[in-house]
Structure 1
Amino acid sequence: MLKSIKSNGVTAVLDHDGFNKRIRVVRYDGAIEKALPDIVAAAREEDAEKIIVYTKQHDEAVLAQQLFVPEGFLKGYYLGHPACVMVRYLTENRRRTHSYIEEQEMIEALYRIAPRLRSDNTPAFTMRKAETNDMYQLSMLYKKVFRTYPTPVFDPAYIEKTMNTNTMYYVMLDHDRLISAASAEINPELGHAEITDCAVLPEYRGHSLTSFLIEALEKEMAEENIFHVFSLARAASFGMNAVLYHSGYQYGGRLINNCYIAEGLENMNIWCKHL
């Protein structure tokens, strides 16, 4: 849910994510520090536990003075210029992690492994844009792949709702069986799309199915005049870079633009396995 606030000559676009109890400042113009009191007030009004600001490069030091810390980076977010994803926690529980060292050890171990090169041969499965009647198989796919997930993708009604509100799914099928999926959450106002909800059934892993789905989504986004695509990964900071790199997702000689958000070891394990 997007809303704009204007304060002291600053305009900021806020995205309230009630399910995850967070406020995201997805765009702003002006001196962001002047709008922070209103942003914090809006977050507390919505009972948010975390504020995320897609920060312009010259504002990183200003937000650091206001208790924000960097958790990731996005290339080209602001018309070709980078954004630093900076966060401020409003509750102690949201800030705490019990597995920091284990997360770092996992990422270090992953970087020591030689990356897997993706085959240029398209797998012998059917790939297409998802339709509404796929929502039941999609929900079953997510139930089999994820033990937990930050959005209610286990609910077919939720998937149907997202399909009708600027989220596009691509699926891979083995005959009539849905075996893999990925989606793009489109923000037409900002001209961005977030690649998310990626999953592959365990018995079909190792074919780089996710990379084919993401490539199809990116082509579809280009046709919709969406040219900035990124992934917000619920994993250890910078760990998503390692996961995508070693899964062979480097089509066209480049990696998808990534942002890496520290949200827990369990989902990092899942990402390492399913790509």
Structure 2
Amino acid sequence: MIKTVKNSGVTAVIDNDRFNKRIRVIRYEGFIQEALTDIMTAAEEEGAEKIIVYTKQHDEAELAKQLFTPEGFLEGYYLGHRASVMVRYLTEKRRQTDTYLAEQEMIELLYKTKPQPQIEIKSPFTMRKAETNDMYQLSMLYKKVFRTYPAPVFDPAYIEKTMNEHTLYYVMLEDDRLIGAASADINPELGHAEMTDCAVLPDYRGRSLTSILIDVLEKEMIKQDIFQVFSLARAASFGMNAVLYHSGYQYSGRLINNCYIGEGLENMNIWCKRL
């Protein structure tokens, strides 16, 4: 749920992510410290365990005074200027992670792997923008690919809702069967997008289909004047991290998301790319 907080000297747009028990300040103008009381009140009312602020560089020191800590950064987030991902945990359990060393080893391994040359690969399957009536096949795809997920993508109604709220889906089909998809949550005001919900059925893996989907999605976003894209990739998923790395994305921080759902902890890495 998105809402806008206006106070003396500041306007902040807040995403109340009830599913993940967190509050995100996705953009703001003015003095962010003037909105912190309202943000903390909203977090308390919603039972949030974590507050995330996509922070402008000149505000990092001010938020540090308010017990926020940096966990990554997004190049170009604010119309070409960097945003620091600063967080404040409101519960002790949300801050914990047991996979720090494993996560760092994975990043080191990726950078030791030589990137493949960027060549255009033609897919034998059909690709197009998703339509509303694809929401049922999309939900079934996600059910088959993901055991748990930090958003209700198994619900067709949720997919339809996101389609109507600036999320662009691209699908890959074999005949009329949906075998893969990738999406981007577009912020038209700031000119960037978050790459999300990339999935390919297990029987079709090993053919670089995810990279192909990401490529066509990026080309579509360029047409819409999107100049910066990023993704929060699960640290536990070497495959997705590798796809992003070999698609030209660069690791730019460490964001521990700590979503206690299903099997538990979800650790995230931030990957960015300028289109």
TM-score range, shorter chain: 0.7 to 0.9
> Could you say which residue in structure 2 is the equivalent of 1:243?
242
CA distance in 1 between counterparts of 2:200 and 2:253 reads: 21
Identity value in percent: 66
Cα deviations by residue, 1:100-127 (Å, 9 ceiling, x for unpaired): 2222233333333333345412121111
> Could you say which residue in structure 2 is the equivalent of 1:56?
56
Q: What's the offset of the Cα at 1:245?
A: 5.1
Q: CA RMSD in A?
A: 2.8
Q: Which amino acid aligns with 1:98?
A: D
> Could you say which residue in structure 2 is the equivalent of 1:273?
none
Q: 1:119 to 1:203 in 2, by over 3 A?
A: farther
Q: What's the offset of the Cα at 1:190?
A: 4.1
Q: SS in structure 2 opposite 1:67?
A: coil
Q: SS in structure 2 opposite 1:19?
A: coil
Q: Which amino acid aligns with 1:87?
A: V
After TM superposition, the structure 1 = structure 2 runs for residues 5-84 of structure 1, keeping only pairs within 5 Å, are: 5-84=5-84
Q: Which amino acid aligns with 1:262?
A: I
TM-score by length of 2: 0.83
- Unaligned 5+ segments in structure 1 are 270-275
Q: 1:18 to 1:73 in 2, by over 3 A?
A: same
Q: 1:33 to 1:268 in 2, by over 3 A?
A: closer
Contact 1:138 1:156 in 2 (8 A): yes
1:261 aligned onto 2:260: no
> Could you say which residue in structure 2 is the equivalent of 1:103?
103
Q: What's the offset of the Cα at 1:206?
A: 2.8
1:171 aligned onto 2:165: no
Contact 2:26 2:53 in 1 (8 A): yes
Q: 1:73 to 1:187 in 2, by over 3 A?
A: same
Q: What's the offset of the Cα at 1:205?
A: 2.3
Cα deviations by residue, 1:9-68 (Å, 9 ceiling, x for unpaired): 122221111211111111122232232122111211222111111111122122122111
CA distance in 1 between counterparts of 2:147 and 2:96 reads: 21
Q: 1:229 to 1:110 in 2, by over 3 A?
A: closer
Alignment: residue pair count? 262
> Could you say which residue in structure 2 is the equivalent of 1:224?
224
- Unaligned 5+ segments in structure 2 are 259-263, 269-275
Q: Which amino acid aligns with 2:150?
A: P
Q: Which amino acid aligns with 1:10?
A: V
